[in-house]
Structure 1
Amino acid sequence: METTAVPNRIAERKLRDREVRRAQIISAARRIAELEGWPNVTVRRLSDEISYSQPVLYGHFESREGILAAVAIEGFQEIGLALEKARKRAKPGKIVEAVATAYLEFATSSPALYEAMFSLSLSIPFADANTPPELRFAFAQLMELFQGQGSKPEVLTELFWAGLHGIADLTRTKRFPPSRQKERVKMFVELFAFPS
């Protein structure tokens, strides 16, 4: 009995170590991107940053794109949690506004992460059978706003998401003046406010 316990503990420790290394790689990629932009996130740079050889990094991710996709997927989990929190804490009649504000605050507070999620050319499937659960979770938080609002809540959710993304991106690239953001969000939310 003891002879099987030791190999199990060793296997568990190796798995934990692997998960820690994977998290370090993702964290380093995010840190570099936030400070210097995504072009500076290379396997060589990550290897230097976390003091692991490039083959170790390739043991976790097949390519640089794999690392960036992992960052993006992590971002979808984070935005999903932020939207869920905003939705659950909002007062009745203010839920759509709370979710819209949380979305835009996420985009503003983590611009490189948001860019990885929506602007980098990554092969993460959206809206099909292979869509990662983190993306489904984030979309579900938006769709929850429109359940019972007609026969196509998915389409309404897509339009809401597209509008938020447009505001976020145009604000990030300084096409929209920040001074009107509050007014912009208020008017946008009114377009999607349905009587309870």
Structure 2
Amino acid sequence: MTVQQRRQRERENRRQLILTTARNLAEKSGWDSVTTRALADTIEYSQPVLYQHFRNKDAIVAAVAQQGFGELAEALHRGRTTTPGGLRGLIEAYVSFAAENPKLYEAMFVIPVDLDFGVEESPDELVAAFGEIIAALEPLGAPRDRIDTVAEVVWSACDGLVTLERSGRLRPAYHAERIELLTQQILATPK
């Protein structure tokens, strides 16, 4: 390994340490507790070292969110491929992911971040997560532009379930029934 390769690896490790620490601080105390000073103190680097990797806290939150979309894509894939029919498993995986990672989900969907959605420049992680929803819908046999639109509706519906359940606006005893009803409604969508 060359000196340059070693330095690059160390730089990537520092970057990941910053992101992991930011996520851990947020999960413990909320995103307001994630400041460059708190991160620097926790990881025992100076603030200028953080600024070598990220221009500000918003950039850190965006990078955490981007990684979160990669994790969401993996969860959706498992849910889609391990459940007969796929769509129900994908919806359950989405809702479970949000419940298990509340502050990460907040970074991904609540906090305004500098990530482009639905455009050619969208990060691979976002494309992969959206692609899992599309893959679950492809058996419907609709044209691709229709599948993309239905996928946006599925994503929106899942986010709505997460948001309303998290805020206590829905009856907990009917969680499974809501997921089943959403699945059936999507499967009944005209082509």
* In structure 2, C-alpha distance between the alignment counterparts of 1:178 and 1:51, rounded to whole Å: 43
Tell me what 1:135 maps to. Answer: 126
Report the CA distance between 1:28 and its aligned residue: 0.6
Summarize the alignment of residues 1-196 of structure 1 with structure 2, pairs less than 5 Å apart. 9-91=2-84, 93=85, 95-147=86-138, 148-151=140-143, 152-193=146-187
Deviations 1:158-181 (A, max 9, x none): 011100010011111221232221
SS at match of 1:153: helix
String of CA shifts for 1:56-92, please: whole Å, max 9, x gaps.
000001111110000000000000011111212222x
Counterpart residue type for residue 116 of structure 1: A
Query: In the comparison of the two structures, how many residue pairs are matched?
Result: 186
Partner Cα distance (2:30, 2:141) in 1: 40
* Superposed CA offset, 1:20-62 (max 9, x none): 1111100011111111111111111100110010000000011
Larger mean CA deviation between 173-182 and 124-133 belongs to: 173-182
How big is the shift at 1:110?
0.2
Amino acid at match of 2:125: E
Q: Which stretches in structure 2 are left out of the alignment for 5+ residues?
A: none
Read off the aligned partner of 1:16 and give its amino acid letter.
R
- Which structure has the greater CA radius of gyration? 1
1:65 is matched by which residue type in structure 2? Answer: D
1:193 deviates by 2.0
User: Which 5+ residue runs of structure 1 have no aligned equivalent?
Assistant: 1-7
Shifted more, 95-104 versus 145-154: the winner is: 145-154
**Equivalent residues of 2:17, 2:43 under 8 A apart:** yes
- Please report how far the alpha carbon of residue 131 of structure 1 lies from its aligned counterpart in structure 2 after TM superposition: 0.7
TM-score by length of structure 2 reads: 0.93
Cα distance between partner residues in 1 of 2:94 and 2:2: 42
Instruction: Give the secondary-structure state (helix, strand or coil) at the position aligned to 1:123.
Output: coil
SS at match of 1:129: coil
Deviation at 1:149, TM superposition (A): 3.1
> Contact (CA 8 Å) 2:87, 2:137: kept in 1 or not?
no
Instruction: Percent identity, please.
Output: 35
